Amino acid sequence: MKDLAYLSGVSSVPLQQALRHLQTAFVNFFAKRAKYPRFKAKKKSRASAEYTSSAFRFRAGRLILAKMADPLDIVWSRPLPEGATPTTVTVIRDSAGRWYVSLLCEDPDVQPLAVTAAAVGIDVGLDHLLTLSTGEKIANPRHERRDRERLAKARRELSRKAKGEGANRRKARQKVARIHARIADRRRDVLHKLTTRLVRENQTLVIEDLTVRNMVENRSLARAISDAAWAEFRSMLEYKADWYGRDVVTADRFFPSSKLCSACGTLQPEMPLNIRTWACGSCGTTHDRDVNAAKNLLAAGLAASVCGAGVRPQRRTPGGQSATKQKTPRREP
């Protein structure tokens, strides 16, 4: 068919890989693990092509794809691990018009680290991106806020362009996309450094199971929560822990980490968000809200990992009576 003649201009492997991905999407849909597959939009979706080992040659740092005579002119971000052989190559063009080549290979340097007794509870927040049970607080870089004025100006310029396929509108759209890409790149760089450090230093890492999707429905905090990227932080922490033989324990989202005294176990009846420092009515200990929450998360995570999910820190109300039963910390599957 003449309408499909353009498909012969590229290797058949990326086309076959697209069909395999579609099959996987339908399998996940019928297994009720995902929603119904959506077609990729030409203008909005990330353009990519995946090549398996039969459709590319990689020799001495030179990459040649099927149906291409010359090697790609690539500026390598880092060399491949010594002795590693790529099994899959993915060529990507992002919304900012940047091209990337991603090579999938086995890295022999990624091995489980030596077992250590160190453990840490991690409380995420907005004033501070992370608060550790050790008392350390890691500042929130607020990447989006730093570029907010520039982004708003670029969006205003885009809105003034006539809608359609004009060159001016395309340039304005790419300008907006480049600012978003700059923000995302800086955010990802910070999260990679933080998660790598935490995984290398600690054997057990305890975090809270937050429903970020529901939290961003708060219009007052949605932008700040999205900029903090808690879900991306958790994802990085989990896969790096899996690489290096560490344990990530997830405390239940209903565990009252902020209202529980980490010194005596007293459960406070209320703890509004505007209270950042409070004193326990039973033992008199003064707590920093975030550090106290991190300590409680650590205690709950250690109890869950050692004795099972049914064990949790002792809790009681200021009057000495047992607190209402809460959902207990659990380990992610």
| Active-site residue list | 123, 208, 290
Cβ atoms of 110 and 89 within 8 Å: the answer is: no
Which residue is associated with the tokens 């004795």? 307
The rounded radius of gyration (Å) of the Cα atoms in the chain is 25
- CB count within 10 Å of CB 3 equals 6
Buried b (16+ CB within 10 A) or exposed e, 19-33: eeeeeeeeeeeeeee
Structure tokens at 299: 């205690």
Nearest-angstrom CA–CA distance, 36 and 18: 16
By residue count, the chain amounts to 333
93: which strand partners? 47, 99
Burial of 264 (0-12, 13-18, 19+ CB in 10 A): middle
Nearest-angstrom CA–CA distance, 129 and 194: 10
Of 142, 179, 143, 176, the closest CA to residue 159 belongs to 176
Q: Which amino acid is at 171?
A: K
Which residue is associated with the tokens 């040659």? 57
Buried b (16+ CB within 10 A) or exposed e, 99-137: eebebeeeeeeeeeeeeeeebbbbbbbeebbbbbbeeeb
Cβ atoms of 289 and 281 within 8 Å: the answer is: no
